[in-house]
Amino acid sequence: MLSGDLFGDLPTVLAEEEIFLLADRPGARIEKIVSTGQASPPGFWYDQPFAEWVFLLQGSAGLLIEGEGAARELRPGAWLEIPAHVRHRVEWTDPARPTLWLAIHLKS
């Protein structure tokens, strides 16, 4: 049976975001993502064909949804469901400590 510790082995400095695949099924994909100050490149927007349920566990981040005036500041405990094709980008993540996300792609 697959099991693990989501808080284990958090790196403190990464060249890029690290993505750990925790489960992948026809209907859903579960990822752990660790950011250490990264942001989406200038002008880049995620535009995904699936809804995504995002949950921030540690650290903090600024998530900009297209059409909203300012980035949503996400703190531990914050979750949101981003509908398919709603464009969004990560404006910033905490530079001082790892930001830990759980991202669930709702593929159907």
Q: Is 83 in the site for a copy of itself (CB under 8 A)?
A: yes
Stretch that binds a copy of itself, among 11-19, 34-42, 78-86, 89-97 (CB under 8 A): 78-86
Q: Per the structure block, which two tokens stand in for 3?
A: 């099991």
> Are the C-beta atoms of residues 29 and 40 closer than 8 Å to each other?
no
Q: What's the rounded Cα separation, in Å, for the pair 57 and 46? A: 21
Question: Least Å distance between CB 95 and a copy of itself?
Answer: 23
Strand pairing of 28-35 and 99-106?
A: antiparallel
By CB under 8 A, name the binding residues for a copy of itself. 1-8, 22-23, 25-28, 30, 51, 53, 55, 57, 65, 72, 76-83, 86, 102, 104, 106-108
